[in-house]
Amino acid sequence: MARKKEILVGKTSEFTDGGKKIVPNGKSDIGVYFVNGEWHAYQNFCPHQGGPACEGLCMAKVEAIVHDDKTVHGMRFNHDQMHIVCPWHGWEFRMEDGVSSADKSFHLKKYDVEVRGSDVYVLT
Amino acid sequence: MELPTSERSRKEVVDGYSTDKMLAHAARLRDERNFAAFPIIDCDAHHYEAESIAEIAEYIDDEVLYQLAKSNPRILSAGRGTHQPMGGRITRYPLRPLEKTPADGLHRDIHLTNRFMDAMGTDYSVMFPTGLLSAGLESPEMEATLCRAYSRWLIEKIGKHSDRVKVLVQLPFGAPEEAYKMAQEFGDAPGVAGFHVSSVRYNRIHDNAYMKTYALIEEMGKPIALHSGFNSNDPFMKLGEPFIVMHALGFTLFNVLHLCNWICNGLNERFPKLKVVWTESGLAWVPWVAQRLDSDYRMRSSECPMLKKLPSEYIKDMYYTTQPMEMPNDLSLLESTFKVINAETQLLFGSDYPHWDMELPTTIYDLPFLSEKAKRNILGENARKVYNIDVSDRYPNYRPMA
């Protein structure tokens, strides 16, 4: 198997929880995220129309508050499930796997992240 | 601060304002009548809470609505159009004011339009308003005033100064006589590529009052675009919530109604050369309407005595802009829609930029079922013919693809 290319993203100290950094990688950059204590990396290219998905906001998943009698009582954010939101049209992708929250047939291209000591690498 | 007066050239200049100074005479009257001698209670006093709306938002318990309101406090007072930025998820909404344009005499809107055209690869654009899409909901007098002022501004500030940005005269269909006058007065102004009627209205566009306007526009050889939108106060549509329902249906339904009226009242027969462009309603509604009208017409033809062919055949004679183009996972549905509207000659690309659901030319160019010729027609050649756009400045040797 061909060895994956490594890109040095930076130091772990550069990231606060919820932070991200975008690193160049040829035609499409890669967004590297540190969210809820975990590392994620995705291609900065939305499968919808090619927007810069990783340059948008990170937002928690919106859930409806539904009681046992099926009545709805407002909405809340589920901060354990963060989404990457493409700034062009609002398409949302799950941080955990890059899959579109609305249509599972679409997803961001995912990359592996490795942390060695205090250095963060993304493998392409 | 300068306060405008009834004379355009004269302004009242005011240094500051204080309640005490404005109400000094009230204080004098208070003292003359010795109001301090007994209690007086005001049972209807007001404040402008909109000025504190960002603070009021802090008291919203629902965290999702809180985020929406913090991203756009106007949501709490201004109506559902303000939901379009999706709580700031479409970042160009809050960030747009930061973009700088050169102070070179060219209007900012020309600079901004040129930038997004260049980024997308478009050469020319036909410009539409945003807020004034609802002008048809105003009184006839107000609509006429707004449309006249806006059209004059468009011609003076945009149309005369750009070869790439084409403008349309916005006709106040709430005031048919004024619409006719404006078509006469501005129809041949520099940069004017045609006419725009905002579809968001409760006028019967087949009324006899409009016939002379349609005849005039047909004679000019310019198109008339009916641009859809929504009315969040429509008693039927306001039942649609959240905003996605209002947008999915409301943006389409005005043009659905107007198109049905257009066809069934014989306007295609009366004005066969009038180019009508159904703008920003998407496309998926057209097959539905075509089927429905054909089925009903076969049964109720006596209600449409001016028709000489099926409604679906008239549909193929008119024009449609692409956006917001529905993109089903099963592209055969879109391909069928393209057949219903005879897309190769009748479909015109529209980006709707900078709105939240804008589309790039790639949405057409990447469709696998279109030939190269069809793609180029839809992306430019059809509009070149409909809007009579001279492309020789950018394509001096241009020939349509055979």
Return the HEC string of A50-90: CCCHHHCCEEEEEEEEECCCCCEEEEEEEEEEEEEECCCCC
Question: Do B269 and B354 fall into the same domain?
Answer: yes
Q: State the pTM of this model.
A: 0.90
Report the b/e string of B80-95 with b at 16+ CB within 10 A.
bbbbbbbbbbbbbbee
Count other C-beta atoms under 10 Å from residue B264's C-beta.
20
Count other C-beta atoms under 10 Å from residue B287's C-beta.
18
Question: Do B84 and B213 fall into the same domain?
Answer: no
Q: How many separate domains does chain B show? A: 2
In this structure, which long-range contacts are made by residues A101-105, counting pairs with CB atoms below 8 Å and at least 24 apart in sequence? A101/A61, A103/B329, A105/B329
* B251/chain A closest Cα distance in angstroms: 17
Q: Compute the distance between CA of residue B26 and CA of residue A123 in angstroms, rounded to an integer.
A: 76
- Half-sphere exposure (CA, 13 Å, Cβ side) for B61? 3
| CATH H-level superfamily of A6-123 | Rieske [2Fe-2S] iron-sulphur domain (2.102.10.10)
For residue B83, the enclosing domain spans 67-98
Question: Do B146 and B207 fall into the same domain?
Answer: yes
Candidates B163, B216, B229; CA nearest to B193 is B163
Question: Do B178 and B264 fall into the same domain?
Answer: yes
Say if B42 falls within a structural domain: no
Question: Do B229 and B353 fall into the same domain?
Answer: yes
CATH code of the domain covering residue B250: 3.20.20.140
Q: What is the average pLDDT across B218-227?
A: 98
Q: Do B89 and A56 touch (CB under 8 A)?
A: yes
Paired with A35 in beta bridges are: A38
Taking contacts as CB-CB distances below 8 angstroms, the residues of chain A near B358 are 88-89
Least CA distance to B364: which residue of chain A? A49
Element (H, E) at B63: helix B63-71
Q: Does position B322 have pLDDT exceeding 80, yes or no?
A: yes
Residue pairs between chains A and B whose CB atoms are closer than 8 Å: 48
Say if B127 falls within a structural domain: yes
Query: Considering chain B, what is the average pLDDT of its residues?
Result: 93
pLDDT in tens, B66-106: 898 888 877 766 656 678 888 889 988 888 889 999 999 99
Q: Do A90 and B358 touch (CB under 8 A)?
A: no
Structure-model confidence comparison of residues B6 and B223, the more confident one = B223
pLDDT at res. B255:
97
Taking contacts as CB-CB distances below 8 angstroms, the residues of chain B near A76 are 62-64
pLDDT in tens, A92-118: 999 999 999 999 999 999 999 999 999
**Pairing of β A38-43 and β A30-35:** antiparallel
Find the range with the poorest average confidence among A38-47, B16-25, B330-339, B384-393: B16-25
Question: Do B87 and B125 fall into the same domain?
Answer: no
pLDDT at res. B77:
65
pLDDT at res. B10:
86
Q: Do B86 and A90 touch (CB under 8 A)?
A: yes
pLDDT at res. A1:
60
Question: Do B94 and B128 fall into the same domain?
Answer: no
**Residue A91 banded pLDDT, cuts 50, 70, 90:** very high
CB contact at 8 A, A72 and A58: no
Is the previous residue joined to B242 through a cis bond, with omega within 30 degrees of 0? yes
Q: Compute the distance between CA of residue B210 and CA of residue B215 in angstroms, rounded to an integer.
A: 9
Q: Compute the distance between CA of residue B202 and CA of residue B135 in angstroms, rounded to an integer.
A: 11
Q: Do B67 and A85 touch (CB under 8 A)?
A: no
